[in-house]
Structures are given as structure tokens and as C-alpha cells.
Amino acid sequence: MLDYILRTNLFNFIIFAGIIAFLYIKLDVTGKLDGAKNSVKENIEKSEETKKISAENLSKVEEQVAHLSEEIEEIISKSTENAKLVGTQILADADKAVENIKENSLKLVENKTALLRNDLLKRASLASVEVAKNHIISELNNNSELHTKLIDESVEAINELKEEEVNG
């Protein structure tokens, strides 16, 4: 029986070895393993190349980022300077505007004062004329000789003007 088991096992082993040999030849396992091996090598080479490119890109980005803080500081500095200049200009413009408003206000006050002064002088003149008129009328009513004297003086002045026109 042992002999039978050995033969059966040997027979099974030969069939199994034959199937594996058939499959190995038919499926070209070596070629496929070589193809897979080459594919893995290509992928590794591509990965290495991609890694190299990525490292270069990372280096460039790091270099740009390294200068970024300096550029930001420079931009902030320039912006601060510009803001100070603009602020100074705004204050100067505001001071000029205030000075102009002040000058215009003073001129307006001077003009209004002059108008009021002229109005007061006009009113005072009118009042003086009215007082003088009333005084003259009162004097003429009280003194009849004065009335005659003024008429004579007026006639003489008119005659002198006529003579100057004729001679002149």
C-alpha cells in the first residue's frame, strides 16, 4: 500500500509539475516578471526625476518665500512713508484752507464794517443836514436881515460864476 501511495503521489507530483511547466511556458511568467520589473524600474526612475524636479521647485519657492518677508517689510515701509507724506500734505492743505477761510472771514468782516460805517455816516449826515436845515429855518424866521443877506450873497455868487464863464 505504501507503494500505491507513493505512486499516486508521484503521479500527482508529475501532473502538478507538468501543469506548472505548461502554465510557466504558456503564461510567459519570466517575461511578465521582467516586464513588471522593468515597469517598476521605470516608475522608480520617473519618481526619482519627479522628486528631483519637485526638489528644484521647492528650492525656488523657498528662495522666493525667504525674500517675501523682506519684500513685505519694504512694502510696509514704503506704504508708511507714503501715508506720512499724504498725511503731511493733507494737513498742509487743511492749514491753507483754514488760512484762506480766516482771510476771507476777515475781509468779510472788514467789508461789513465799512458798509455799516458808511450807513452810519450817511444817517449821521442826513441827521446833520436835517438839524442844520431846522436851525437855518429857525434863524431865518427869527432874523429877517439874515434872510436878505443870504439872498444877496447867493445872487453875487451867481453873477461871479457868469462872469468867469464869459471871461474864461
Tens-digit pLDDT profile for residues 114-164: 998 888 889 888 888 888 888 878 877 887 787 788 788 888 888 888 888
Amino acid identity at 168: G
Cα 43 to Cα 29, 35, 56, 152: the distances in Å are: 20, 12, 20, 140
The residue assigned the cell 519570466 is 30
Lowest-confidence region among 51-55, 92-96, 144-148: 144-148
Structure confidence at residue 28 (pLDDT)? 67
Tens-digit pLDDT profile for residues 23-42: 767 776 667 777 888 888 99
Tens-digit pLDDT profile for residues 98-109: 899 889 888 988
Q: What is the pTM of this model?
A: 0.39
Give the Cβ contact number of residue 137 at 10 Å.
Answer: 10
Structure confidence at residue 53 (pLDDT)? 92
Q: Tell me the C-alpha distance between 100 and 107, whole Å.
A: 10
